[in-house]
Amino acid sequence: MDRFDNSPETALAWHREGIGAALATVVQTWGSAPRRVGAQLAIGGDGRIEGSVSGGCVEGAVIAEALEAMENGTHCVLEYGVSDDDAFAVGLACGGTIRVLVEPVGPVLPEPVLAELVKARAGRVALAYEVNLQSGERQLVRDGYPHRMRMDRSGFEEDGQTFVAVHNPPLRLIVVGAVHIAQALVPMARIAGYDPVLIDPRDAFGSDARFPGETILQDWPDEAVLKLGLDTRTALVLLTHDPKLDDPALEAALAADVFYIGALGSTRTHAKRVDRMIQAGFTDEQIARIHGPVGLDIGAAGPAEIAVSILAQMTQVLRQG
């Protein structure tokens, strides 16, 4: 999916309010499509909408078809060509073609299935929604489609009938240490789709003046990560150079299932860090998850380039494992 949107939550709320609702999902694209596969639009029975399947190019037509599908109690698959002029209007160089699946909530998309999906999303639980367009069978799949889940790649299976919509929690970056590198890394990560959180108990570092508009927790790192929680869609980057601050968060991450752990410091500093983790009782396999020195070796000079190397390494680990 693109950035985390609330189309499933909105559709469930409208259905429960008695307005009626349908979910429209981009299931296939060709050419320069405005939205990627998995993008969703919630349509209310009174014509209200939330979300987008095309950036505005075909929403009007989708709404009309969705209202008819709600009336008939059937799903439908729509195909639209996006003209070059329409594509340009939403920021693309040329047009493309999209297929959109429309599922009325209730008669087609069962309310209990949608409610379970919404609950999982609220709890940061990753799962896939699987629908067979031929048989009409629908189910939620946990711990399945590992490649799709890692790549955030919704799409059709080889049979051409089974569509899998990936519902991953939003990516989150926890940075311990509000230092110069963090000032570059946090906005870069936000652009890349992460929800960044800074942890630094030192008032002079973790200030709104240095990080305007960002979430800053001025707790000790072990308390802060306990509040935030650590899961498979979380990356942890340690930047303080101070074991008193870094190590408590590091130990919490090693005991959890975060997808990335990076720690700033030289090879010598990292060797001392490894020794401390051994003394703390962690296994060689657990300790090997730490990327230290942090970031890809691209010859980075200065805080901004180091931030680029860290974000690149996070992406590599997320997408390639």
> For position 3, what pLDDT does the model report?
47
Domain-embedded: residue 12 = yes
Same domain, residue pair 86 and 13 = yes
3-state secondary structure of 38: coil
| DSSP per-residue letters across 195-229 | EEEEE---TTTS-TTTSTT-EEE-S-HHHHHHHH-
- C-beta atoms surrounding 84 within 10 Å: 13
Same domain, residue pair 163 and 40 = yes
| DSSP per-residue letters across 45-98 | TTS-EEE-SSTTSSHHHHHHHHHHHHHHT--EEEEEEEPHHHHHHTT-SS-EEE
> For position 87, what pLDDT does the model report?
60
pLDDT at residue 178 tops 50: yes
- Mean pLDDT (the chain) is 92
- Sequence-separated (6 or more) residues with CB below 8 Å from residue 197: 172, 173, 174, 175, 215, 216, 217, 228
Q: What element of type H or E holds 272?
A: helix 267-279
Same domain, residue pair 159 and 249 = no
The pair of three-digit structure tokens given for residue 303, joined into one six-digit string: 């805080």
State which of 105, 132, 167 marks the end of a domain.
167
> For position 321, what pLDDT does the model report?
77
> For position 78, what pLDDT does the model report?
94
> For position 141, what pLDDT does the model report?
97
**What is the C-alpha to C-alpha distance for residues 318 and 321, in angstroms, rounded to an integer?**
6
> For position 99, what pLDDT does the model report?
92
Mean pLDDT value across residues 1-11: 76
> For position 88, what pLDDT does the model report?
60
Rounded to 5 degrees, φ, ψ at 104 are -65, 135
Nearest CA to 26 among 49, 58, 48, 4?
Answer: 58
State which of 167, 199, 218 marks the end of a domain.
167
Q: pLDDT by residue (tens digit) across 89-132?
A: 655 556 678 899 999 999 999 999 999 999 999 999 999 999 99
**What is the C-alpha to C-alpha distance for residues 16 and 219, in angstroms, rounded to an integer?**
40
> For position 94, what pLDDT does the model report?
63
> For position 1, what pLDDT does the model report?
40
pLDDT at residue 20 tops 80: yes
Q: pLDDT by residue (tens digit) across 288-310?
A: 999 999 999 999 999 999 999 99
State which of 115, 149, 167 marks the end of a domain.
167
Q: pLDDT by residue (tens digit) across 127-163?
A: 999 999 999 999 999 999 999 998 999 999 999 999 9
Lowest pLDDT segment from 159-173, 201-215, 243-257, 277-291: 201-215
**What is the C-alpha to C-alpha distance for residues 230 and 256, in angstroms, rounded to an integer?**
6
Same domain, residue pair 128 and 247 = no
Mean pLDDT value across residues 169-190: 96
Confidence of residue 35 (pLDDT cuts 50, 70, 90): confident
pTM of the model: 0.81
Same domain, residue pair 212 and 246 = yes
- Find tokens 């909530």 and name the residue: 105
> For position 208, what pLDDT does the model report?
86
> For position 206, what pLDDT does the model report?
83
pLDDT at residue 64 tops 50: yes
Same domain, residue pair 143 and 102 = yes
3-state secondary structure of 193: coil
Same domain, residue pair 16 and 162 = yes
Same domain, residue pair 24 and 87 = yes
Rounded to 5 degrees, φ, ψ at 237 are -125, 125
The pair of three-digit structure tokens given for residue 207, joined into one six-digit string: 């200030």
pLDDT at residue 261 tops 50: yes
Expressed as residue numbers, the domain containing 205 is 171-320
- C-beta atoms surrounding 29 within 10 Å: 20
Domain-embedded: residue 281 = yes
3-state secondary structure of 108: coil
